[in-house]
Amino acid sequence: MTTDPIDLAMKAGQEFDSRLLVYKSTNEDLTSIFDKYDVKDKDVLTVLASSDQALSCFYKGAKTIDTFDRSYITLFYYYLRKWLIIYKNELYPSNKFLSFKGSGDKELYELVCSIKPEDRREKEAQTFWKKYMEFNDYKANFLFEDRYCNEPKPFNNKIDKIKDFYNKPINFTLTDITEPINIHKKYDVIILSNIFEYKESMLNQDTIRYNLENLLKENGLAICSYKLRKRKDKCHQDEILTLTKGTLSLDSEYKHYEPLAGKNIDLAYAYRKRSK
């Protein structure tokens, strides 16, 4: 898929492709996850997605935070959130910025146009949002997968602390972790969020497992979330044992309610890389 911001803006505005949608906010209980799994003073690799995972790691004191995603638009959204947090004191693009009717999201468009980019990627993000909104009657709402959801509060609304996250450039790699990747750094923690939910074939899972083995430090953790889909816990645990093939062990398991998903129950768990 192209990374050119104008091409992406045109595609996102003219055709439906789930790969072009972004999540406005997490649908995970990140507060519970990061209370359970400590990232303080650790090297972390996380899917970028809505940026909430990376921001939570910063809030919890991670030493380094690298990000990845298969979609370049998540990086553009990272910058949109940066501008909203710094200049509007808003953690997410609220409904006043995401309208369906009337004159459109003019306030958001004016914010985007006012930005003085600090680097090439921020300039690309500004170009993307300007062109996307111009192609879509100055609206941005249709780009979001979860535009109807209320936002969670994974950082206890500590916006001033989160602002410090943007004092240094983001380390982002365009990659799909369900395919062979070429990242040589080792990490204490890798956050996959809901990736397993969308990649259930054994081939995809084997590739993810291989990547985790190569990316994790000894005793490192890969934190995941996965929908039960009405399967019994015992069946799910057998599935995990098949997936890990003895190289990664199931570290722990607990249930929590998604903050945005009503009665759906998620399973959050972690794989720990065994010491040789």
Report the b/e string of 221-244 with b at 16+ CB within 10 A.
bbbbbbeeeeeeeeebeeebeebb
Res. 118: pLDDT tops 90: yes
Q: Are 237 and 126 in contact (CB under 8 A)?
A: no
Q: What is the pLDDT of residues 124-139, one digit of tens each?
A: 999 999 999 998 888 8
Which residue has 């996250």 as its token pair? 165
Q: What is the CA radius of gyration of the chain?
A: 19
Mean pLDDT of 29-43: 86
Quote the DSSP letter at residue 18: G
Q: Are 82 and 228 in contact (CB under 8 A)?
A: no
More confident residue, 269 or 158: 158
Residue 265, CB-side half-sphere exposure with 13 Å CA sphere: 10
Res. 251: pLDDT tops 70: no
What pLDDT does residue 130 have? 95
What pLDDT does residue 14 have? 64
- Can you give the three-state secondary structure of 131-180, one letter per residue? HHHHHCCCCCHHHECCCCCCCCCCCCCCHHHHHHHHHCCCEEEECCCCCC
User: What's the distance, CA 158 to chain centroid?
Assistant: 19
What pLDDT does residue 235 have? 46
Query: 235-238: long-range contacts (C-beta < 8 A, 24 or more apart)?
Result: 236/267
Q: What is the pLDDT of residues 163-178, one digit of tens each?
A: 999 998 899 999 988 8
Number of neighbouring beta carbons within 10 Å of residue 181:
16
Q: With cut-offs at 50, 70 and 90, classify the pLDDT of residue 276.
A: low
More confident residue, 187 or 10: 187
Which of 63-67, 101-105, 233-237, 261-265 is predicted with the least confidence, judged by mean pLDDT? 261-265
More confident residue, 112 or 209: 112
Which of 3-7, 140-144, 217-221, 263-267 is predicted with the least confidence, judged by mean pLDDT? 263-267
Q: What is the pLDDT of residues 44-54, one digit of tens each?
A: 999 999 999 99
Q: Are 76 and 220 in contact (CB under 8 A)?
A: no
Q: What is the pLDDT of residues 206-244, one digit of tens each?
A: 787 788 888 999 888 888 775 433 344 444 455 555 555
Q: What angle do CA 239, 241, 244 make, to 5 degrees?
A: 110
What pLDDT does residue 20 have? 79
Distance CA 225, CA 190 (A): 12
For the chain, what is the mean pLDDT?
79
Which of 72-81, 106-115, 188-197, 257-266 is predicted with the least confidence, judged by mean pLDDT? 257-266
More confident residue, 64 or 154: 64
Q: How many residues does the chain have?
A: 276
Whole-number Cα distances in Å, 147 to 28, 143, 190, 259 = 16, 8, 27, 15
Considering only the top CATH level, what class is 5-273? Answer: alpha beta
Distance CA 265, CA 256 (A): 6
Distance CA 149, CA 34 (A): 22
Res. 156: pLDDT tops 90: no
What pLDDT does residue 195 have? 78
Residue 258, CB-side half-sphere exposure with 13 Å CA sphere: 21
Distance CA 125, CA 131 (A): 10
Q: Are 189 and 64 in contact (CB under 8 A)?
A: no
